Amino acid sequence: MRSNQPQDITNITEDREFRAFHTFLRTARNYQEKEIYNATYQAYVRICDELGVKPEMSDDVLAVMDEQPEYQLYTWCYRYLQQFKYCSPDFGMQPKAHAEADRIVKELDAAAAVSEKAGLLKLNPKIDYPDYYKLADFHQHPGGVWDDEVDGLVYELGRRTTRPWEEDPNDLYRLMYSHLPKGKTFKRVLDWGTGQGGMILTWMEGHPEAEAYGVDISGPCLKLVNKRAMERGYKIHLSQQDVEKLDYPDNYFDLVMFTFMWHEIPPGPTKRILKEVERILKPGGVCFGMEFLPQKGSIWSEAMAHTLAYANNEPFAPASFKYPYCETAKEVGFSDAKIVWYDEIMTPLPTDKWTPPQMMYPLYTFTK
């Protein structure tokens, strides 16, 4: 029985135990990302001092940290809190969603049927998933975000504790939007790799008149976004496609925006994908997005970013840290391509002696 939520909102039953589970997860993940992360850095600096070593590459940093209990604890927490979050038989998001799958899938399918008829949702059940997409269960989402009808909902629930220090994960998009190039009008916008849809749904809050689009290769994710759009009364054109070959016309969008896409795409198809983005943008249009990267110039941060990649099944992240996106964007035809770094757009972190280097969230702006 769903007593605590409106009947027309698709969700799992969020009983007290489930909410308490999430409170535990948030607290544990915050502890991991603050106290254990800081302790790992302190121990690393101390051991380097004691051994008189000065690592020059991130692999050397990892060699120093390998037997360090603080680092082991950090890595263990990363891997197993995430598994616990998805798979715990009593509270995990996937078993919870499966227990109510009959109802949830019926609700998603009913909404999808309406939108397909209205031409707002285009699904392609025969889509050819690239091998790289099927290679790993990204962020340890069991089976990936595409092969199970409840995947969109599980992805949305999981996002609550992906960056556990955020009360509202959509604040990240609001922050991004405040840094969009000024003096341009973005009428027709595409959320490129829309996932659980937070980005385009947040855009619609501020631009209900926008001609909005979302593309993703995952059908279950798009069905969830479609349901959320209907619940909020938004009109969003959603389409299941591979970003390497899109069916939008040339010169179509004013804005193509993205979050956290590059680290899931290997270097091989990246140039072709960037060319495809350039093709669908109008002259003067903007591709604008965010990714995560190790802190510039810090091999310790790079080592921790590689740790995240291994612990959280992100096999292409290390290659993405080194990929020359701006140079490649210019090669495929963008007239300008730049990165604005986190510390240039936000208040810099305190410079306490023990503040460890943090992961960064740079903004990419490619102008056609």
Ligand X SMILES: C[S@@+](CC[C@H](N)C(=O)[O-])C[C@H]1O[C@@H](n2cnc3c(N)ncnc32)[C@H](O)[C@@H]1O
Alpha-carbon distances of 321 from 52, 127, 302, 315, rounded to whole Å:
29, 29, 9, 12
Under the criterion CB under 6 A, does residue 259 sit at the interface with ligand X?
A: yes
Q: Which of 28, 29, 140, 163 is nearest to 93 (CA)?
A: 140
- The alpha helices in the chain, defined as continuous H runs, are 16-31, 37-51, 58-65, 69-87, 93-99, 101-117, 131-134, 151-158, 171-177, 198-206, 219-232, 267-280, 299-311, 317-322, 325-331, 342-345
Residue among 81 and 277 whose Cβ is closer to ligand X? 277
Nearest approach, Cβ of 154 to ligand X (angstroms)? Answer: 12
Subset of residues 131 to 150 that bind ligand X, contact rule: CB under 6 A: 133, 145-146
Under the criterion CB under 6 A, does residue 176 sit at the interface with ligand X?
A: no
Residue among 130 and 315 whose Cβ is closer to ligand X? 130
Under the criterion CB under 6 A, does residue 199 sit at the interface with ligand X?
A: yes
**Burial (0-12, 13-18, 19+ Cβ within 10 Å), 4:** exposed
Cα angle 306-311-315, degrees, rounded to a multiple of 5: 60
Name the segment binding ligand X (CB under 6 A); options: 10-18, 217-225, 303-311, 319-327: 217-225
Under the criterion CB under 6 A, does residue 216 sit at the interface with ligand X?
A: yes
Q: What is the contact mask toward ligand X in residues 39 to 78, using x (rule: CB under 6 A)?
A: ----------------------------------------
- Structure tokens belonging to residue 295: 């802190």
Under the criterion CB under 6 A, does residue 274 sit at the interface with ligand X?
A: no
Question: Exactly one of 221, 255, 305, 332 binds ligand X (CB under 6 A); which one?
Answer: 221
Task: Give me the sign of the Cα torsion angle 221, 165, 171, 285.
Answer: negative
Question: Exactly one of 217, 230, 238, 332 binds ligand X (CB under 6 A); which one?
Answer: 217
Helix (H), strand (E) at residue 287: strand 281-290
Q: Which of 253, 260, 238 is nearest to 317 (CA)?
A: 260
Nearest approach, Cβ of 242 to ligand X (angstroms)? Answer: 4
Nearest approach, Cβ of 109 to ligand X (angstroms)? Answer: 19
Nearest approach, Cβ of 317 to ligand X (angstroms)? Answer: 10
Position with the least CB separation from ligand X = 195
Q: Interface residues with ligand X (CB under 6 A)?
A: 130, 133, 145-146, 193-196, 198-199, 216-218, 221, 242-244, 259-261, 264-265
